[in-house]
Amino acid sequence: DLSVSVEQLKPATFEINRPLVSGYLTALSELKREFGLDGDPSLELIAKLPGALQVSQDSGSLDEKLVAGAEAAVFQALVSLAEMRAVEGVGLAAELNSRLDNIERQMPAIENEAARLPAVYREKLMKRLQEVVAGGQVDETRIAQEAVMLADRSDISEEIARLKSHVAQMRELIGTSDEAGKRLDFILQEMNREANTILSKSNDLEISDAAIVIKTEVEKLREQGQNVE
């Protein structure tokens, strides 16, 4: 909403309601004559008579040039505001996309490390079992099965896929005006949830580091997303 207030600087001017004052004076003269009253009506009395003095219409109206100038100033202010917000919007969109780029850069490291984990788990299990049986024979088939089960419990492929989908949705929303702010906030909550799940499932340092970077970028996106309408 926009409101404009105008302060009147020049003094108001008054008009005399001559017919009304004349009628008052005639009535007062008749009262004086009929009831034998003394004295004449004072200027103060006449000025206080209802309607005797009226504010001039010109004194209460705005000058056309003043109105036109005010309208032009308001219009220019709105244009400047729109231009400023457009520039800010471009800058904000670039910053948001930069954060999303950094999130996407973490994906290959997570995927590559996750693909390597089953073999790592198998090697660790084999080593532990060999230590337990003190060099005896170890059922490698059983080891492979245990490694697969452990890898399944630590599988983060779905979380990675959802993160990629959320990033794509974010890019589509950036720059739109259809309640983008609320939708961005919801997607960022989902992205943070996926990053937390990756952290909880993985005991791998490289994956954990990448997930922490994602969480940090999501938090920065959330802060900047508050400026999106």
Mean pLDDT of 99-103: 94
Residue 159 has pLDDT above 80, yes or no: yes
Confidence of residue 88 (pLDDT cuts 50, 70, 90): low
Quote the pTM value. Answer: 0.54
Domain parsing of the chain, residue ranges:
14-75, 94-225
CA angle in degrees (0–180, nearest 5) for 127-128-132: 120
Write down the mean pLDDT value for the chain.
77
The pLDDT tens digits for 10-28 are 666 778 888 888 888 888 8
Residue 226 has pLDDT above 60, yes or no: yes
